Structure 1
């Protein structure tokens, strides 16, 4: 497959292909379950947790803070409207990447709990090394809802890595959460959804896995009946406003805040 070849003067890393199915893309990649990804992420976030590093994203340590300002703005607005601290559900939140990125803003009057749903081996690790009174880890949304009522949902760079994203979005909407914040989600400039394989730069970690690029109208349509679109915004991560597939700038990353209709 051309996925494994390098174009002239172009690196062999990024997003490639236009596959017929998730299974086909999976067969040509390593997958998300590799132990090296979890281990590198754990070590990086332990440094952040212990105050030895400032910020982590995708297992990479940064020397300066980089804040997701749209998320913070909508979260703080939620707190202001409710006049109390809120319970956050961070689906696909790794070992607390976003939580540690914004924790200096999450006093007890802002965040009652930050609850992460992830792959089972991430949850096992999170419970052992990172869980505390505020940061909690659950295997499923249902497990979390047995213990607390969620006010604010965060989906940051996660939906495009699910095998059945449209089914997931329908199930999420059915829960009736008041606010859903979608961030760093990948879309194609035109055309239908596209399944690619992402080859990660070795400086991050050695890995490759399937990834969706969505048709924006089809993605937002999942929310139209029960939610209003409060705002849309560009990714806060440099370089994601324009994304390349097969080294062509035909995609982008975007975020949305949806509020449930009363």
Structure 2
């Protein structure tokens, strides 16, 4: 029997009580005009790069956040079964490659080739300064395929919902045809498709403390919430749900409808 994401009895974290006063917008473009920027914002790029450099090169014993490192580590280990010596990973929205660095701290006996797909602005900043064996940067899924060829794992953490069309983004990731997908911090929404705005502090982006001499400020970016049933139709057409758990980074109500973050591990069907 096919697993489902919709059952509130089986997935109790679909029930949350904290409310958000987020405003709905008619379209992604109108939300973007209201925000003035998205994740291409130069300040976000600058802060994330500086934080990542500090974290990687001056932090010999990093504290590992189990959300979402556990599920991507499991995905890689599953992909390495049957004696596979090298595992290839497409990391959609992987910023400056922090997840690669953390996974390599955990998994030392598997060769990993990892391509981060990011905005042009983030890629230009990261590829000149972040140098690790097995890590590559790309501005598109097609370019990532040209670099590596085929992928064993597709990973996306907290990135799909910030694209203009999460549905199209998921379809594109599914078309990569990786045997394993790990989709982390994906908002499951019980209402109809809604475009709204996520508000955060600049200092919340990237690992660790705010770099010196950078003033903190509010960051607003468009976010599209897709109904959980629609997400099922897209994901479970070609993949089966292997396991899932709630993400501690997300949980609110928009009107009468819940928004919760989920970490999903999916396996591609044989048909």
Flag whether TM exceeds 0.5 (same fold).
yes
Structure 2 CA distance for aligned equivalents of residues 249 and 165 of structure 1: 19
- CA separation of 1:83 and 1:203: change in aligned 2, threshold 3 A: closer
Higher relative contact order (CA 8 A, sep 6+): 2
Report the counterpart of residue 192 of structure 1 in structure 2: 192
Report the counterpart of residue 133 of structure 1 in structure 2: 133
Q: What is the CA-CA distance between 1:110 and the residue it aligns to? A: 1.9
Contact kept? 2:44, 2:202, Cα under 8 Å: no
Deviates more, 1:73-82 or 1:160-169: 73-82
Report the counterpart of residue 214 of structure 1 in structure 2: 226
| Structure 2: gaps of 5 or more residues | 1-19, 205-215
Structure 1 CA distance for aligned equivalents of residues 37 and 139 of structure 2: 19
The Cα offsets for residues 138-192 of structure 1, whole Å up to 9 and x where unpaired, read as 121211212322110101100100001112222222232211110001122x221
Report the counterpart of residue 8 of structure 1 in structure 2: none
Q: Classify the secondary structure of the residue corresponding to 1:98.
A: helix
The Cα offsets for residues 52-109 of structure 1, whole Å up to 9 and x where unpaired, read as 3765xxxxxxxx33232222222212212453220111011001122233320232x3
Contact kept? 1:47, 1:53, Cα under 8 Å: no
Q: What is the CA-CA distance between 1:245 and the residue it aligns to? A: 4.2
Q: What is the CA-CA distance between 1:15 and the residue it aligns to? A: 6.8
Contact kept? 1:131, 1:137, Cα under 8 Å: no
Report the counterpart of residue 250 of structure 1 in structure 2: 258
Does residue 1:48 correspond to 2:55, yes or no? yes
For 1:79-94, what aligned pairs fall within 5 Å after superposition?
Answer: 79-94=80-95
Contact kept? 1:89, 1:154, Cα under 8 Å: yes
Q: Classify the secondary structure of the residue corresponding to 1:257.
A: strand
TM-score normalised by the chain length of structure 2: 0.79
Report the counterpart of residue 226 of structure 1 in structure 2: 238
Report the counterpart of residue 60 of structure 1 in structure 2: none
Structure 2 CA distance for aligned equivalents of residues 79 and 232 of structure 1: 20
**How many pairs does the alignment contain?**
235
The Cα offsets for residues 195-224 of structure 1, whole Å up to 9 and x where unpaired, read as 111111354353111012221111121122
- CA separation of 1:127 and 1:177: change in aligned 2, threshold 3 A: same
Report the counterpart of residue 207 of structure 2 in structure 1: none
| Structure 1: gaps of 5 or more residues | 1-13, 56-63
